[in-house]
Amino acid sequence: MGLSVRRRSGKIMGGSSLIVPGQDMLTSKVFEVGFSNKRGSLPDQHRESPSTSVTPTNTPIPTNTPTPSVTPTNTQTPTNTQTPTPTPIETPVNCVEGTIPKDTVYSYYSCCYPYGQISGTSGPSTTGYTVCYNPFSASTNVTPVSPQVICDTLVLTSCCQVQLGYDLTDSFMACMATQSTYYISVPCKTNGCILDFALGIYTDISCTTLAPDGYYSDWTNYGTVSSGIFSFSGSC
């Protein structure tokens, strides 16, 4: 129950709200008093605001992601493929031994330079000849040796005809001399019948009679014969 403005003739005594007759009331002031239905409650401005409780956030523990292990790949060792060895093709043998009886007319093709036909008569004073010839070319009265014997062309020589100048003591004079017919022996598989390739100088077609010692020239090159041995010297 609050205080209210009383008549000026009213009086408030000792804070009583009663109007006591006969008491003068100078002024009156109404105080607004707030009441709470709770005992001992404080005004709002004196109350503590309720604390907002912070729920702690659980920081997730990082999970270690396992690194996938690489399974090693077995590298296959390359297999060495063997190259098949080609079967050698037999080269036809074009130089074999043959025999010619005595006192017989014969002909055959040489397997040495100049690879031409050789013909003649063996004569009565010989027991016969053994020759190396080309069995794939025509031959007369030449019988191949049995079993077959292959001639070694690295040691065979061929006899061919050349024209040479001669001087007994002077190479310059030999280079200027009139040429005559001689025969030279050359390696079987040579490329030409020239003085450069000569192994010996002879005076007969069979290359059996040695030419005399001295200087010999084909007008381009020259060489010497000493004790039957030929030595190539060089250019004139």
Total tally of structural domains belonging to the chain: 2
Residue 85 confidence (pLDDT):
58
Could you give the count of Cα atoms lying within 13 Å of 199 in the half-sphere of its Cβ? 14
In a domain, 8, yes or no: no
Count CB atoms within 10 A of the CB of residue 163.
Answer: 11
Amino acid at 103: D
CB 198 within 8 A of CB 163: no
Name 121's Cβ contacts closer than 8 Å, sequence gap at least 6: 103, 104, 105, 106
Q: Do residue 126 and residue 194 come from a single domain?
A: no
Last residue of a domain, one of 144, 179, 210: 144
Last residue of a domain, one of 114, 144, 174: 144
**155 CB-contact burial (10 Å; exposed 0-12 / middle 13-18 / buried 19+):** exposed
**132 membership: H or E segment, kind and range:** strand 129-133
In a domain, 167, yes or no: yes
Per-residue pLDDT of the chain (236 residues; tens, 9 = 90+): 444 444 444 444 455 454 545 544 444 554 555 545 555 554 555 455 555 555 666 666 666 666 666 666 666 666 666 665 555 444 456 899 999 999 999 999 999 988 889 999 998 877 888 999 999 999 999 999 999 999 999 999 999 999 999 999 999 999 999 999 999 999 998 888 999 999 999 999 989 999 999 999 999 999 999 999 999 999 99
Could you give the count of Cα atoms lying within 13 Å of 84 in the half-sphere of its Cβ? 3
In a domain, 9, yes or no: no
CB 212 within 8 A of CB 164: no
In a domain, 114, yes or no: yes
Q: Do residue 101 and residue 167 come from a single domain?
A: no
Query: Alpha carbon 102 to chain centroid distance?
Result: 63
Residue 9 confidence (pLDDT):
46
Residues 85 and 82: their CA atoms lie apart, in Å, by 9
Residues 127 and 121: their CA atoms lie apart, in Å, by 12
Domain extent, residue 111, equals 96-144
Q: Do residue 228 and residue 163 come from a single domain?
A: yes
Residue 191 confidence (pLDDT):
83
Tokens for 133? 């010839």
In a domain, 3, yes or no: no
Residue 123 confidence (pLDDT):
85
Query: Alpha carbon 206 to chain centroid distance?
Result: 55
**176 membership: H or E segment, kind and range:** helix 171-176
In a domain, 46, yes or no: no
Tokens for 157? 């020589």
Query: Alpha carbon 233 to chain centroid distance?
Result: 47
Region for 59 from its dihedrals, namely left if φ exceeds 0, alpha if ψ lies in -120 to 50, beta otherwise = beta
With a threshold of 0.75, does the pTM exceed it? no
In a domain, 183, yes or no: yes
Residues 174 and 223: their CA atoms lie apart, in Å, by 9
Tokens for 210? 């040695």
